[in-house]
C-alpha cells in the first residue's frame, strides 16, 4: 500500500525526505485523514497527475558530501529534490507474502513511485532530482533499466575518512544483514565472525564496484568530496544541464556555510581530523578493500 500525505506547497528542502514527512504528519489532518492506495493504482493516478521526469540521480558512498549536493540543488526554486525517500527501499526489498517479484514489476513500481514523488509542489518546479540511499547503488542495473536516460553522478571520498566516520557513528546499512549478503558478494555465514570495520569496508567496496561496473559504457560524473563545493558549479550543474544565474549561485553558496545535515550548524571541515583519528586497522582495511577502487573512481572524474 502507498501512503499519501498532503504536502501543499512545502518545498522539500530538508536534508532528508523523511524529515519533511515527519513534519507533515505532525499536522493532525494528515494523520486523522490518512489515505492509502494499492501500489497498482499508481499508473492511473500518475496518468491523471504526471510528475516531473527526473533530471538527475545522485548515488554515493555515504558520508561524502552527497547531502551537500542535494541541499544545494534544492536551494534553486526550480528544483524538487527527493533526498533518500525510504519508500524506494520497499521497491527493492518487497516480497509480498513470500512471493517472488520480477525485475519487470520492480521497474514498474520504481517508475510509478518516482513519478508520484515527482509531482510539482510549486508552480516554479521544472526539475526533479533523486538522491538514493547509498546501498541503492547496488541496484544500479535495475534503476538504469527503469531510467536509462537519466544522468547520474557518484559521490565518494577518501576511504579512510568514510571508514572513520562510520566507526564513530555507524550508519544503519553497516549493520550486518541489513543489506542482502549476496549483493555484497558475501555468504550469510560470513557475517557472524566478520569484524564490524571490515564489514563496513566490504559494503563500501561493493557499492563502488557497482558504480564502476555500471559506469562502463555510460557517461557518469564521479565526484570526489574534496572537490566540493566548487564541483557543484563546475561539474554537476552542467552535467545535469542546469544553469545558475548570479543570484541563484549566491543562494547555493549560502548553503555551503552550514552543515548539510544540520543546517543550523556552521560547517567545519573535518577531513584532517578524520585522517588523524584513523587507526592502523582502518588504514589497512582502506588499502586492502577500497584504495584500488578509489583510484579507479579518480580516473573516472
Shortest Cβ distance from residue 33 to other proteins (Å)? Answer: 5
Closest CB to other proteins among residues 11, 151: 11
By CB under 8 A, tell whether 217 contacts other proteins: no
| Cis omega (within 30 of 0) for bond into 229 | yes
Shortest Cβ distance from residue 285 to other proteins (Å)? Answer: 32
By CB under 8 A, tell whether 47 contacts other proteins: no
By CB under 8 A, tell whether 8 contacts other proteins: yes
Shortest Cβ distance from residue 2 to other proteins (Å)? Answer: 12
Shortest Cβ distance from residue 87 to other proteins (Å)? Answer: 11
Closest CB to other proteins among residues 6, 44: 6
All cell numbers assigned to 105: 514489476
13 phi, psi to nearest 5 deg: -105, 5
Within residues 125-164, the interface with other proteins by CB under 8 A covers none
By CB under 8 A, tell whether 90 contacts other proteins: no
By CB under 8 A, tell whether 175 contacts other proteins: no
Where is 17: in which H helix or E strand? helix 17-24
Does residue 214 contact residue 146 with C-beta atoms inside 8 Å?
A: no
Residues that bind other proteins (rule: CB under 8 A) add up to a total of 12
Task: List all residues 6 or more positions away from 107 whose beta carbon is below 8 Å from its beta carbon.
Answer: 142, 145, 146
Does residue 286 contact residue 160 with C-beta atoms inside 8 Å?
A: yes
By CB under 8 A, tell whether 276 contacts other proteins: no
Closest CB to other proteins among residues 16, 156: 16
Closest CB to other proteins among residues 34, 44: 34
Does residue 65 contact residue 225 with C-beta atoms inside 8 Å?
A: yes
By CB under 8 A, tell whether 35 contacts other proteins: yes
By CB under 8 A, tell whether 266 contacts other proteins: no
Please tell me the number of Cα atoms within 13 Å of 72 on its side-chain side: 25
Burial class (CB in 10 A: 0-12, 13-18, 19+), 136: buried
Please tell me the number of Cα atoms within 13 Å of 184 on its side-chain side: 26
Q: What residues make contact with other proteins under the rule CB under 8 A?
A: 3, 6, 8, 25, 27-29, 31-35
Amino acid at each position: 500500500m502507498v501512503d499519501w500525505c498532503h504536502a501543499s506547497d512545502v518545498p522539500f528542502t530538508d536534508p532528508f525526505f523523511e524529515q519533511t514527512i515527519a513534519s507533515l504528519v505532525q499536522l493532525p489532518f494528515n494523520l486523522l485523514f490518512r489515505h492509502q492506495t494499492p501500489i497498482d493504482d499508481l499508473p492511473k493516478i500518475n496518468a491523471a497527475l504526471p510528475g516531473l521526469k527526473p533530471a538527475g540521480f545522485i548515488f554515493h558512498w555515504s558520508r561524502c558530501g552527497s547531502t551537500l549536493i542535494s541541499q544545494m540543488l534544492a536551494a534553486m526554486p526550480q528544483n524538487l529534490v527527493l533526498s533518500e525517500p525510504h519508500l524506494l527501499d520497499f521497491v527493492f526489498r518487497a516480497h509480498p507474502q513470500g512471493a517472488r517479484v520480477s525485475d519487470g514489476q520492480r521497474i514498474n513500481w520504481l517508475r510509478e513511485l518516482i513519478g508520484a514523488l515527482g509531482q510539482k509542489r510549486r508552480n516554479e518546479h521544472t526539475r526533479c532530482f533523486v538522491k538514493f540511499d547509498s546501498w541503492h547503488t547496488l541496484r544500479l542495473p535495475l534503476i538504469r533499466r527503469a531510467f536509462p536516460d537519466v544522468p547520474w553522478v557518484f559521490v565518494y571520498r577518501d576511504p579512510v575518512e568514510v571508514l572513520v566516520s562510520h566507526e564513530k557513528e555507524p550508519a544503519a546499512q553497516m549493520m550486518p544483514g541489513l543489506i542482502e549478503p549476496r549483493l555484497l558478494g558475501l555468504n550469510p555465514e560470513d557475517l557472524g565472525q566478520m569484524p564490524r570495520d571490515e564489514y563496513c569496508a566490504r559494503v563500501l567496496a561493493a557499492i563502488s564496484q557497482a558504480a564502476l561496473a555500471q559506469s562502463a559504457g555510460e557517461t557518469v560524473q564521479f565526484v570526489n568530496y574534496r572537490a566540493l563545493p566548487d564541483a557543484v558549479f563546475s561539474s554537476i550543474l552542467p552535467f545535469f544541464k542546469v544553469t545558475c544565474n548570479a543570484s541563484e549561485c549566491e543562494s547555493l553558496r549560502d548553503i555551503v556555510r552550514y552543515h548539510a545535515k544540520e543546517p543550523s550548524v556552521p560547517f567545519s571541515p573535518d577531513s584532517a581530523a578524520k585522517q588523524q583519528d584513523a587507526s592502523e586497522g582502518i588504514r589497512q582495511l582502506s588499502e586492502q578493500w577500497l584504495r584500488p577502487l578509489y583510484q579507479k573512481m579518480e580516473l573516472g572524474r
